[in-house]
Each structure stands twice: as structure tokens, then as C-alpha cells.
Amino acid sequence: MKRIITVFLMLLSLLAFGAEEGLEAGNKLPEIKLYNTKGELVGTSEEHLGKITIYNFGASWCPPCKFEKPLLNEFYNNNKDKVNVVSVMVDTDGKAVDKFFKDNPMDFPHYFDKGQILSNKFLIRVVPTSYIVDEKGINLVRIHGATDWSKITMEDIDELRVK
């Protein structure tokens, strides 16, 4: 019996480490529903097609998110004719998200991950995590951890395109 349990645990760990981690480069972003902090449906990802879109998953309690968001906001403001930014906050409390954006105003929309549906769908294990998606909804890259958006250009993003 002990041997069966050991073999089972080894197989389980192999499956866990071999599992995909959300949306891979080259995959189409499935339509996602976007909710406000009251949990009301206010839009979908389809509204953001036509421009490069950065889906940035973060949380109000996350220090790296607090570092990254202002840099992402500046990147957005410098490139908003070519890029959308969609902030998805994975908090369990919409009031905490509202307070975060009141204390840290941003020029891009933020949404609430109602019931952690999107976090689970995209296997978000680290915040911040960003997906850069092209105009047709194809994922170009997934970035785990905070990004210094002051060092990223639109040319850098264009180079990510799947040829």
C-alpha cells in the first residue's frame, strides 16, 4: 500500500510540474467577462480587440503591483493610441480594489476578478502577471512578476509577434 501511495504522489507531482500555466504564447484569448468592484458585469474582452491589449492581473495588497501600476500607467499614456491596458484585480473584496485605485489613480480601466474566476481560468499563481495580446486576441507573451514598463517600447512588443 505504501508503494502505491508513493507512486501516486510521484505521478501527481509530475503532472503538476508539467501542467500548462494559463494562456500560452500563440493561443487565442477566450472571451472573458469583466466585472466592476460591485460584482456587476460591465464588459468583455471582445471590446478590447483591434489594439494590442495588456491584461495585468494584480492585487491591492501586493507590493510589486504597487511598484508596477504607475509605470504601466505611464506606458499606457505614452502609447494609448496603440495599446489598451486592462487591470484585473484578484482581491476577494471589491472595497479594497476601490481604495487602491482611489489612493493610486490610473488612467486605464480596472476590473474585479469576481470569485477568482479569471485567476483560476488563467492559472494565476503570481501577482502581478501580465498577458500581452495582439489586435486579434492572440497571446504574445505571459510575464510573471513586476515589469519595469519604463524600459518597454511598442517596438519591443511588436517584436513579440508570432511570425
**In this structure, how many other beta carbons lie within 10 angstroms of the beta carbon of residue 79?**
19
pLDDT beneath 50, residues of the chain: 2-19
Question: Which contacts of 28-31 are long-range, i.e. CB under 8 A and separated by 24 or more positions?
Answer: 28/136, 28/137, 28/138, 28/139, 29/55, 29/131, 29/133, 29/137, 29/138, 29/139, 30/121
What pLDDT is attached to residue 23? 87
What pLDDT is attached to residue 161? 85
pLDDT digits (tens, 9 = 90+) for 122-136: 999 999 999 999 999
Domains of the chain: 22-158 (3.40.30.10)
pLDDT digits (tens, 9 = 90+) for 14-39: 333 344 557 899 999 999 999 999 99
What pLDDT is attached to residue 8? 39
Instruction: Give the span between the Cα atoms of 119 and 57, in whole angstroms.
Output: 8
What pLDDT is attached to residue 129? 97
What pLDDT is attached to residue 43? 96
Instruction: Give the span between the Cα atoms of 145 and 129, in whole angstroms.
Output: 6
Cβ atoms of 60 and 88 within 8 Å: the answer is: no
